[in-house]
């Protein structure tokens, strides 16, 4: 189902699509590719929305910085100093997080209106980022296919091609609260990562891949998420051709379980400590599947370079169950 929910200041219409399958309902906006809500049952069969969002378009326009539910690009997470050198050429980006570039710059994909076409059990969202936008080289064509499978799992399949060498790192920035209200501080989180990337005061990785053993970053066994996380975890599986399960979030009160499977080598865990009004700190947990922050300046990290003739592909699957 497709409905008009508002217009931007320049008159561009914004639509909302509703997907339903296997007891799961998902609403997605053309603005930012935003996952507005995800409704799933609890252990008693009561359906509730388990993601943070606003009822209408105005809320997202008034509060852009939490990146609620949005598709993120052209580079998810941070690039230190808002610059990188590729093939001997330095590219200066738009700094929008102090001196650094965050989530694609001042007008990333989260602030674009995507073209949307319907596909079987879902949608295909697409856009073009022109050469030089936010300082990134190359004309980038991006498509994200969002579908619900026969179990009600939400699949996000990303593709991109470029006409010049560039860096690409795409993700989704949904905040999950499986209780449907209050905070997610009581949720239990498990992440299949024996290492993480420590960062400096500006959240730029130091380059170290640190062992999580004996630290609060050891989430290999489920533990209360609490707060204080805005960190990239190095997934043990690395880059894979098909999605593999890497994380699980569980709310003991409702019984809802979220599983995350991905092809990506990292996952950013953000406990929304600084999410800002109108939400309270810890209102949700973002689990952003991705390549590592500042990879363009860290050749020792998995590469995010995309060249002409290549196709960037990535897939993440969010599964829902109860126990």
User: Domains (ranges, CATH) in the chain?
Assistant: 2-322 (2.70.98.10)
What is the 8-class DSSP label of residue 135?
G
Q: How confident is the model at residue 1 (pLDDT cuts 50, 70, 90)?
A: confident
Average pLDDT over residues 120-137: 98
Helix/strand/coil percent split, the chain, to 5: 5, 45, 50
Mean pLDDT is lowest, of 224-228, 253-257, 291-295, for: 224-228
Closest CA to 52 of 289, 271, 323, 320: 271
pLDDT score of 44 = 97
- With a pLDDT cut of 90, the percent of the chain lying above it is 99
Closest CA to 108 of 146, 67, 69: 67
Instruction: Please give the C-alpha separations between residue 59 and each of 16, 53, 115, 310, in angstroms, as whole numbers.
Output: 14, 8, 21, 38
What is the 8-class DSSP label of residue 111?
G
Dihedral angle sign, alpha carbons of residues 46, 49, 51, 52: negative
Indicate if the pLDDT at residue 295 is higher than 90.
yes
Annotated binding site for beta-D-galactose: 77-78, 173-175, 230
Count CA atoms within 13 Å of residue 207 on its CB side. Answer: 6
Catalytically annotated residues: 173, 288
Instruction: Write down the mean pLDDT value for the chain.
Output: 97
Tell me: the pLDDT tens digits for 141-158? Answer: 999 999 999 999 999 999
Classify 255 in phi/psi space as left (phi over 0), alpha (psi -120 to 50) or beta: left
Indicate if the pLDDT at residue 94 is higher than 80.
yes
Average pLDDT over residues 151-167: 98
What is the 8-class DSSP label of residue 62?
H
Burial of residue 286 (number of CB atoms within 10 Å: 0-12, 13-18, 19+): buried
Q: How confident is the model at residue 109 (pLDDT cuts 50, 70, 90)?
A: very high
Count CA atoms within 13 Å of residue 86 on its CB side. Answer: 21
Indicate if the pLDDT at residue 74 is higher than 80.
yes
Closest CA to 149 of 23, 290, 15, 313: 23
Any idea which residue has 């894979």 for tokens?
A: 240
Query: What whole-number distance in Å separates Cα of residue 270 and Cα of residue 57?
Result: 24
Query: What whole-number distance in Å separates Cα of residue 214 and Cα of residue 112?
Result: 42
- With a pLDDT cut of 70, the percent of the chain lying above it is 100
* CA 171 from centroid of its chain's CA atoms: 4
Query: What whole-number distance in Å separates Cα of residue 237 and Cα of residue 217?
Result: 17
Cite the DSSP H helix spans in the chain: 57-62
Average pLDDT over residues 118-136: 98
Residues 6+ apart with CB under 8 A from 138: 131, 162, 163, 164, 165, 166, 306
Q: Is the bond leading into 74 cis (omega within 30 degrees of zero)?
A: yes
Burial of residue 104 (number of CB atoms within 10 Å: 0-12, 13-18, 19+): buried
């Amino acid at each position: 189902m497709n409905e008009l929910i508002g217009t931007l200041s320049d008159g561009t219409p914004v639509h909302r699509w509703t997907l339903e399958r296997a007891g799961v309902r998902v609403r997605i906006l053309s603005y930012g590719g935003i996952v507005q809500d995800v409704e799933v049952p609890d252990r008693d069969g009561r359906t509730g929305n388990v993601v943070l969002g606003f009822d209408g378009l105005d809320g997202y326009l008034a509060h852009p910085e939490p990146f609620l539910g949005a598709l993120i690009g052209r580079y998810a997470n941070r690039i230190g100093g808002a610059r990188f050198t590729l093939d001997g050429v330095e590219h200066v980006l738009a700094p929008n997080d102090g001196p650094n570039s965050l989530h694609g710059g001042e007008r990333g994909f989260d602030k674009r209106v995507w073209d949307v076409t319907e596909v079987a059990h879902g949608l295909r969202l697409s856009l073009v980022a022109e050469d030089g936008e936010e300082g990134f080289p190359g004309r980038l064509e991006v498509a994200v296919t969002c579908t619900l499978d026969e179990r009600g799992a939400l699949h996000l399949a990303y593709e991109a091609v470029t006409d010049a060498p560039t860096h690409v790192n795409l993700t989704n920035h949904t905040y999950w609260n499986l209780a449907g209200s209050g905070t997610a501080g009581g949720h239990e989180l498990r992440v299949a990562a024996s290492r993480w990337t420590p960062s400096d005061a500006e959240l730029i990785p130091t380059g170290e891949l640190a062992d999580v053993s004996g630290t609060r970053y050891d989430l290999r066994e489920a533990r209360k998420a609490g707060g204080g996380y805005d960190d990239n975890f190095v997934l043990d599986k690395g880059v894979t051709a098909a999605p593999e399960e890497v994380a699980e979030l569980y709310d003991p009160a409702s019984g809802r379980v979220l599983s995350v499977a991905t092809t990506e080598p990292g996952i950013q865990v953000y406990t929304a400590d600084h999410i800002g009004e109108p939400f309270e700190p810890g209102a949700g947990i973002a689990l952003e599947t991705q390549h590592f922050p500042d990879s363009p300046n860290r050749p020792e990290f998995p590469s995010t370079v995309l060249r002409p003739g290549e196709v960037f592909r990535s897939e993440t699957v969010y599964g829902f169950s109860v126990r």
